[in-house]
């Protein structure tokens, strides 16, 4: 059994190296905290309610095409800067040692600073989005009996994501000092993606001792909906080029995340070190992949600290970006085929993401 869990851990690490999540202009939604069900070195087996609150924040201001950093955007002063904050409020109902129900409600506040060019000078303005995001409901089951196998286990979760978040938040876009348009804000700061999605999670852990353990998490959101019908022209008339390549309407993309690492316990304090991979893929698992999206991924080092009280756990995790890559989208590929000129869009990424939160057991 020990060899099985060690093999599963390394399988999770391999998954996390396979093009997994970006943040910034790449529109990765919150995963409802950080999929930490496998971080703890024990499983709560008594029927009970739990409440978690996770606060996620980042600033994206480094522009990339592929994995190449576009320093010229910083020099010119026209880089796009996203400020993104999401508070996930999650209720868990542990039914018995194996089964758990979960309901997650995200509240999001995003701002996007961008520029317009007038008289040779780039001038900044901001658009905003605030409100409820996409609600998610999931059912989880530990595959092994936690009472008989306290040292390690595998949890599988299946859920549904509902399009409760507004995917058509609108604001004013300045085109000059005296003119502006009113239209949907950028996809990266919209509150929802407009699709009904299916989520799959795998959480696992194995404890070598009370002091040392491994953890692994995998999360995939499948959005079978192709496009959400929202214009990508920011209130203006879509260009002929965007209509030709299909980027005039926003896409409903899939996303996925994998993380794996080591936990060290010092009495009530847990310190963890791991790798995290977050991705918005070019192609969806189910259905077509048309419309505008900025696919890409970030591979991060993820240190974390968790302090456990009798009924409350508090934590902080901070993924620090090591690799950023804005991959070529379907519209990019279509334009390349239509014009014969290689096309590859850009995206702004964050240097790091801050997650701070707490879990309360009732």
CA distance 55 to 53: 7
Q: pLDDT, tens digit, for every residue of 65-114?
A: 999 999 999 899 999 999 999 999 999 999 999 999 999 999 999 999 99
Q: pLDDT, tens digit, for every residue of 247-287?
A: 999 999 999 999 999 999 999 999 999 999 999 999 999 99
Q: Which among 284, 300, 298, 292 has a CA at the least distance from the CA of 345?
A: 292
Q: pLDDT, tens digit, for every residue of 134-176?
A: 999 999 999 999 999 889 999 999 999 999 999 999 999 999 9
22, pLDDT greater than 50: no
Per-residue b/e over 181-215, b at no fewer than 16 CB within 10 Å? Answer: eebbbbbbbbbbbbbebbbbbbbbbbbeeeeebbb
pLDDT in the model for residue 116? 94
Q: Contact 315/302 with Cβ under 8 angstroms?
A: no
CA distance 97 to 112: 44
The residues that bridge with 262 in the sheet, in sequence order, are: 214, 273
Six token digits for residue 136: 């998610």
Tell me what the mean pLDDT of segment 21-49 comes to: 63
Q: Sign (positive/negative) of CA torsion 80, 233, 176, 118?
A: positive
Q: Which among 254, 256, 340, 233 has a CA at the least distance from the CA of 15?
A: 256
Please tell me the total count of domains within the chain.
1
Residue with tokens 């804005």: 326
The residues that bridge with 5 in the sheet, in sequence order, are: none
On average, the pLDDT of the chain sits at: 89
Tell me what the mean pLDDT of segment 187-196 comes to: 95
Tell me what the mean pLDDT of segment 30-44 comes to: 57
Confidence of residue 38 (pLDDT cuts 50, 70, 90): very low
Alpha helix locations (H) across 125-254?
240-245
Q: Contact 198/222 with Cβ under 8 angstroms?
A: yes
Q: Domain of 94: which CATH number?
A: 2.40.160.40
For 138, 151, 177, 286, 323, the CA distances from 223, given in Å and listed in that order, are: 15, 35, 39, 7, 26
CA distance 21 to 66: 14
216, pLDDT greater than 90: yes
* φ/ψ (deg, to 5) at 331: -60, -35
34, pLDDT greater than 80: no
Instruction: Classify residue 235 as left (phi > 0), alpha (psi -120 to 50) or beta.
Output: left
Range of the domain at 107: 2-361
Within 10 A of 267 (CB to CB), how many other CB atoms are there?
7
Tell me what the mean pLDDT of segment 289-296 comes to: 96
Six token digits for residue 268: 């009530």
* φ/ψ (deg, to 5) at 6: -65, -40
Q: Is 354 exposed, middle or buried (0-12, 13-18, 19+ CB in 10 A)?
A: middle
CA distance 356 to 348: 23
Judge if pTM exceeds 0.75: yes
């Amino acid at each position: 059994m020990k060899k099985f869990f060690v093999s599963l851990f390394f399988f999770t690490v391999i998954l996390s190296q396979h093009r997994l999540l970006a943040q910034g202009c790449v529109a990765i939604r919150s995963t409802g905290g950080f999929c930490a069900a496998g971080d703890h070195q024990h499983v709560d087996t008594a029927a009970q309610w739990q409440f978690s609150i996770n606060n996620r924040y980042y600033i994206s201001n480094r522009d990339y095409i592929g994995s190449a950093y576009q320093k010229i955007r910083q020099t010119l002063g026209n880089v796009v800067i996203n400020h993104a904050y999401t508070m996930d409020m999650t209720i868990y109902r542990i039914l018995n040692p194996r089964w758990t129900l979960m309901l997650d409600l995200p509240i999001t506040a995003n701002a996007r600073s961008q520029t317009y060019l007038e008289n040779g000078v780039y001038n900044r303005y901001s658009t905003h989005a605030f409100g409820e995001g996409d609600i998610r409901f999931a059912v989880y089951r530990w595959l092994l009996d936690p009472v008989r196998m306290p040292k390690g286990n595998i949890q599988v979760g299946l859920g549904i994501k509902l399009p409760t978040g507004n995917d058509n938040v609108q604001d004013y876009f300045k085109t000059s000092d005296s003119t502006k348009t009113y239209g949907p804000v950028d996809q990266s700061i919209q509150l929802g993606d407009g699709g009904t999605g299916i989520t799959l999670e795998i959480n696992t852990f194995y404890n070598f001792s009370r002091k040392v353990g491994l953890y692994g998490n995998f999360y995939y959101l499948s959005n079978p909906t192709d496009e959400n019908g929202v214009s990508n022209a920011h209130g203006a008339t879509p260009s002929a080029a965007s209509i030709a390549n299909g980027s005039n309407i926003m896409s409903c993309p899939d996303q996925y995340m994998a993380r794996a690492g080591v936990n060290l316990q010092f009495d009530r304090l847990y310190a963890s070190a791991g790798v995290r991979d977050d991705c918005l893929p070019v192609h969806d698992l189910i259905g077509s992949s048309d419309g505008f999206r900025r696919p890409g991924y970030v591979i991060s080092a993820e240190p974390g600290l968790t302090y456990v009280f009798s009924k409350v756990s508090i934590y902080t995790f901070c993924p620090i970006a090591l690799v950023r890559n804005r991959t070529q989208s379907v519209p990019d590929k279509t334009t390349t085929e239509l014009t014969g000129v290689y096309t590859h869009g850009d995206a702004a990424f964050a240097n790091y993401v801050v997650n701070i939160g707490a879990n309360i057991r009732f």
